[in-house]
Structures are given as C-alpha cells and as structure tokens.
Structure 1
C-alpha cells in the first residue's frame, strides 16, 4: 500500500449557497502540457487555460502534466519558476492542489485538482513495475452540506509501458473502492478502448462518455485528434447522472479538454 499524503484545505462556500443546493455539477479534465503551448515553443498557455475555466465555471477540474517550480516551466513563464496549480488557482479564484508524482527539473511534476468548494485533498503514488516516470492519483473528498460525500479524482497514467498502465489502473480501483463512496475519476489515461487497462477499469467504473454518445470524440492530438485517451469515469451508482459530456475544440495544449455535467441526487 503506497504512502498516503494528506493535505487539508478548508474555505468558505461561494456565492452564498452550498454545494448541496446546487446539485448540478460541472467538471473539467485537461492535460495542460506543463503550462506551455506545444505548437508554439516557449509560449505560456496559462492565460488560455484560465480563461477556459472561467468560461465554463466548473466546480472541479482535473489537470495533468502540471509543473511546480521547475526550470522547464520558467522557460515559458517569463523566466519565473511557477507552481502551475497555485497560479491557476489564483487566476480562477478556485482552490488549487498539486499532487506531485516525481521530482523534476529542480521542482516537481504531477497532477492537480482545482475546486470551487471546500474539500479534503490527498495524493496517492501509483506503481511503476516496469520503471519509467512515477505517477500519482490526486483525490478530493467532497462533503456536501447535507452530509453526502463523493470523491473527485484525477490521474495521468504511464505513457511508456502497458504493464505500468495495467498496474496503475488496478491500484486506482483498489484505492477508490475502499472508501465506499460515489466516484468521479478523470484524466489522461494513455490507453484506448481496445487496451487491457480500459477493460480492467470498466469492470468497476463506467466510461461516462458512452452513456450519452455511442461514438465519443477523440482527444489527442489537439490539432487533429485521432486517439481517445482522455476520459471521465464514474462509479456504477452514478449511472443515469450524466447530463452531457463534450470534447472542447481548443488547441493551446496537445490534448483537448473534456467538460461534463452531472446531476447529483
């Protein structure tokens, strides 16, 4: 069982109403290519990412390929080492959490969650039996004012080895089901629907896009997508809650983001 890193974050409810009163949730997942426009080297994409978030006003955002205080990020951020999660949190008025997967470029690299609501954040490292880059699972434990709880989680699976993706998928399932709560899982999974890891995850979770569209859109590469490797997954008890799911047509990262709306009872 991996080391469990816990960070408590509390704040005030926004706009004078609670998450329990809202019920319809908007969620976004986006691989942001470490804050740099992949098609214009050295150019930051943070302003565009922040503007996208402000446009759709999601309650929760899962971000992948997030740098924190790296030399690499400085090259596209005007020479400043930037904690991208904190920067985007400030730009959007949300809470930001960085789930470090590895030490990288004199800083850290991993996943992030942004939240409009008070939540309890945590990080779980994922296995890499074949070696390669470390990976992590970012968790937000959400508690509504009426006492209902659910988990919003984000991850980015190994791009190098199938065996790593399989092991990471199995560990994610183990970690998520032990809570006994409803789950929304999002991210860049680096697998397509014909791969084994997709089948592993499908045993316990539902591919949310298939619940509203029999032919979901591809997400990668952003300029002309041919592969579907970014997903929202939901626990079986949330079947019937998906209102809509959309791959957004933007190209300031190498992946396209996905926006989902859920009706929470």
Structure 2
C-alpha cells in the first residue's frame, strides 16, 4: 500500500511539472512617478496597489527616475523608485539606466517574483537623441521553468533609431537559450514600418486578441504604442487587456501567456 501511495504522489508531481504554465505580464509607462492630470502629485502608491492586486509574474515599467532632482520635487526627497516599489510590493526589483538625468538616472524598471541574470543593454542611436536601453532578467516560474523577459522604451523622435533599436533587441532575443517575452513603450503604431519589420514568429498580444484600444492618450486622440511581444513557438496567448487607469499618460497593458509543453 505504501509503495502504491508513493508511486501515486510521484505521478502527480510529474503531471504537475509537465502541465502548461501561465505567465501573467504587465507593462506600464509610469510618467516618471507623477500624475499627469494632477501635476506634482505622486502616482507611486497607485502603481504599488495595482501590482499587489494583479500579482503578475513579471512587470516592466518605463520612464523610471532613480534619485533625480525631479523625483525630489514630486516626493520631497530623491527617490529610488524601483527599490521603494520592490520593498512595498515584495517583488525583486531592477533598474536599468538608459541615461544620466538630474543628478540621478532615468530608464527601465523590472519587477519579478523570482529572477536572475539581470542586465541592461544599451541600444543604438544612429540619428542621435536620448540614449535608450533594454533591461533583461531570466525569470523563473513556480514550476522551475525559465524564460527571459525584457522591458524597453524606444526612441520617440526618429524612425531610424527605432529600427536600429528593434534590430538590436531582436538579434539578442533570438540568441537566448530560453523562451523570450519582451515588452514596452515602443513609440510606433501597428501600421508603422517598424511594426511590420518584426519577424512573424514574434506575436503581439494586442493584435492576437484583435484589440484596437489605445495605450497612450485618450480614446479620441491616442495611439496603441505599448506592446507585449512573445515567441509564438514557445507561448500562446490566453488573455489580453488594456487597463483604463488614470495614473499616467499611458495605460497598463496586461496579458496572460501559456508556455507550450515541450515535445517529448
């Protein structure tokens, strides 16, 4: 009887490890920690509450200030936004600096439940303008499955820069040895040359759900420029939403992806 019981437990564990695993994802341009509709008003607690309520596995935040004079104006002291958000939410945080700004840094933020190999890659700027980067982490799910997750904010001025930055991201993503998801504020629309340039094995969650909801601005005068991209050979889409929240000039973009089972 004992042998039967332990065999049953083992079979259950194997079934669990072989089951499909869902990954909840959120990307959000947070307008450097300030409410655009209420200048000088922090949006930190609104964002922290959103993450606590939603509990995504991986989060990418754009327009992140770290110890800048601007953050001191908004919060009364220089603020390391990601470190504070990490403490408040229980996530592991990482700040990927794109450039120096007002005595501190400005760039990308990642928050994950479990991760390793955090790193930042500078992106090309052939036409000049603001420096840009992408922050990466190797994230790990409860089932011990691993994938790479990247968050970025592409150039808002020059198509030439965005194309070069895309090429850099895609080349690096295709070199990785685990499934990949990359997200962010890409500053181009679905009808742009940049969007059309992305190879077909990369799928975009909004398009796959037939969503036309804007992610920036107002429904009457906005655009869909924030995206969640995934390798369709490794993931399939379960859910996609744009969350209509007023904490920034962008909206949070949410998706659930299911990691495909490996062929035996």
TM-score in same-fold range (> 0.5): yes
Cα 1:76/1:141, change in 2 over 3 Å: same
Residue aligning to 2:257:
262
Which one has a larger percent helix, Structure 1 or Structure 2? 2
Residue of structure 2 aligned with 1:43, choices 41, 44, 63: 41
**Number of positions where the alignment pairs a residue of Structure 1 with one of Structure 2:** 244
* Contact 1:222–1:250, Cα closer than 8 Å, also in 2: no
Residue of structure 1 aligned with 2:238, choices 243, 248, 252: 243
Residue aligning to 2:191:
194
Residue of structure 2 aligned with 1:136, choices 127, 133, 150: 133
- Asked if 1:97 corresponds to 2:97, the answer is no
Instruction: Name the CA distance, whole Å, in 2 between partners of 1:129 and 1:204.
Output: 27
In the TM superposition, residue 224 of structure 1 has moved relative to its aligned partner by 5.4
In the TM superposition, residue 225 of structure 1 has moved relative to its aligned partner by 5.8
Structure 2 counterparts to residues 79-118 of structure 1, below 5 A: 79-118=76-115
In the TM superposition, residue 58 of structure 1 has moved relative to its aligned partner by 0.8
Give the TM-score of the pair, scaled to structure 1. Answer: 0.87
In the TM superposition, residue 126 of structure 1 has moved relative to its aligned partner by 0.2
- Which digits, 9 at most, give the CA deviation of each residue in 1:68-96, with x for residues without a partner? 0000111111x210111111111111011
In the TM superposition, residue 118 of structure 1 has moved relative to its aligned partner by 3.1
Instruction: Name the CA distance, whole Å, in 2 between partners of 1:227 and 1:249.
Output: 14
Residue of structure 1 aligned with 2:147, choices 147, 150, 155: 150
In the TM superposition, residue 216 of structure 1 has moved relative to its aligned partner by 3.0
Residue of structure 2 aligned with 1:54, choices 30, 52, 55: 52
Instruction: Name the CA distance, whole Å, in 2 between partners of 1:45 and 1:33.
Output: 9
* Contact 2:20–2:258, Cα closer than 8 Å, also in 1: no
Where does structure 2 lack aligned partners over 5 or more consecutive residues?
A: 1-15
In the TM superposition, residue 236 of structure 1 has moved relative to its aligned partner by 2.8
In the TM superposition, residue 238 of structure 1 has moved relative to its aligned partner by 3.0
Secondary structure at 1:76's aligned position in 2? helix
Cα 1:147/1:50, change in 2 over 3 Å: closer
Residue aligning to 2:11:
none
Residue aligning to 1:33:
31
In the TM superposition, residue 145 of structure 1 has moved relative to its aligned partner by 6.8
Residue aligning to 2:9:
none
Cα 1:80/1:132, change in 2 over 3 Å: same
In the TM superposition, residue 202 of structure 1 has moved relative to its aligned partner by 4.0
In the TM superposition, residue 204 of structure 1 has moved relative to its aligned partner by 4.6
Residue of structure 1 aligned with 2:167, choices 170, 180, 187: 170
In the TM superposition, residue 175 of structure 1 has moved relative to its aligned partner by 1.1
Residue aligning to 2:224:
228
Instruction: Name the CA distance, whole Å, in 1 between partners of 2:202 and 2:120.
Output: 20
Cα 1:22/1:112, change in 2 over 3 Å: farther
Residue aligning to 2:68:
70
In the TM superposition, residue 167 of structure 1 has moved relative to its aligned partner by 0.5
Instruction: Name the CA distance, whole Å, in 1 between partners of 2:218 and 2:248.
Output: 7
Instruction: Name the CA distance, whole Å, in 2 between partners of 1:215 and 1:28.
Output: 16
